[in-house]
Structures are given as C-alpha cells and as structure tokens.
C-alpha cells in the first residue's frame, strides 16, 4: 500500500515542518485535543496549513486531522503549533485532571448506555 507519510522518504516530512522532526515536550497537542479553525485558508498559505483550516471548520481531534492528511501525528502536531502560534486555530485540550472527576465518569457512563 502506498500513501503519503507511511512510505515517503522522511526527508519529505521534514520539509513540511522546516526540518523539525519532533514536537517537543512543550507541544500542547494531545491526540484527542479538539482543534477549531479561527480563520479561513488564505492564498499563499502552506497547503497542509490550508488543509487543516478546512478540516477544522468543526472541532476535530488531532488524531483525526492526522488520519485525514495521511501524515504522522508528530508532524501534524508541529503544523498545529505553528497555526496556534499564529492565532489561526484554537485548541480545546482534554480535561485530563477531570479524568478522575466522578461527574465526568458519570457522563461517560450515561453516554455509553445511551448508545
């Protein structure tokens, strides 16, 4: 199977991110951080950035963006931090501290039972 990302030379992926290969410990994007576009794509924008802005017209998790773009998650996190720094997307981070919140667990149970 051939698809971008999986079988491409890593060189191409590094070019997408101007040579950065890893997002670093301070990158705030979790796999399930929900990303929302704050503006429309503009002419001249890097095509991956434009694609992310189109995908995130409605809230979209980082992992879904990666699947849609067929790029590794670590590359997408770098692209997203660029867009976040430019104010072009906003990020709704998981309330990880609330994982132990009984209210959240109850909401999860109610949601699952209603499936």
Partner 1 sequence: MDSATSETRTPAPDTRTPLRASADNGLKIVVVGGFGVGKTTMVRSVSEIRPLDTEEMMTRAGEDVDDTSEVRGKTATTVAFDFGRISLDARNVLYLFGAPGQERFWFLWDRLFSGALGAVVLVDTRRIDDSWYSIDRLEKHGTPFVVACNDFGGPAFTTEQVRDALDLDPHVPLITCDARSRESSKLVLITLVEHIRALYADPARATRQELV
Q: Which residues bind partner 1 (CB under 8 A)?
A: 1, 5-7, 10, 13, 21-22, 30-34, 55, 57-61, 63-64, 66-68, 70, 72-75, 92, 94-96, 98-100, 102, 104-113, 115
Q: Which is nearer to partner 1, 43 or 97 (CB)?
A: 97
Please name the residue that has the structure tokens 């104010």. Answer: 87
Instruction: CB nearer to partner 1: give 29 or 88.
Output: 29
How many residues are given for the chain? Answer: 115
Shorter beta-carbon distance to partner 1: residue 43 or 115: 115
Burial, 113: exposed, middle or buried (Cβ in 10 Å; 0-12, 13-18, 19+)? Answer: exposed
Separation between Cα atoms, residue 41 and residue 88, nearest integer Å: 9
């Amino acid at each position: 199977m051939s698809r971008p990302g999986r079988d491409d030379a890593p060189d191409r992926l590094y070019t997408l991110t101007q040579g950065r290969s890893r997002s670093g410990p301070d990158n705030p994007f979790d796999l399930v951080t929900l990303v929302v576009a704050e503006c429309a794509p503009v002419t001249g924008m890097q095509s991956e950035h434009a694609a992310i802005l189109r995908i995130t017209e409605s809230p979209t998790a980082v992992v879904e963006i990666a699947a849609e773009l067929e790029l590794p998650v670590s590359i997408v996190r770098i692209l997203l931090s660029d867009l976040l720094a430019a104010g072009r997307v906003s990020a709704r981070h998981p309330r990880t501290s609330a994982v132990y919140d009984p209210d959240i667990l109850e909401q999860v149970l109610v949601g699952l039972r209603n499936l």
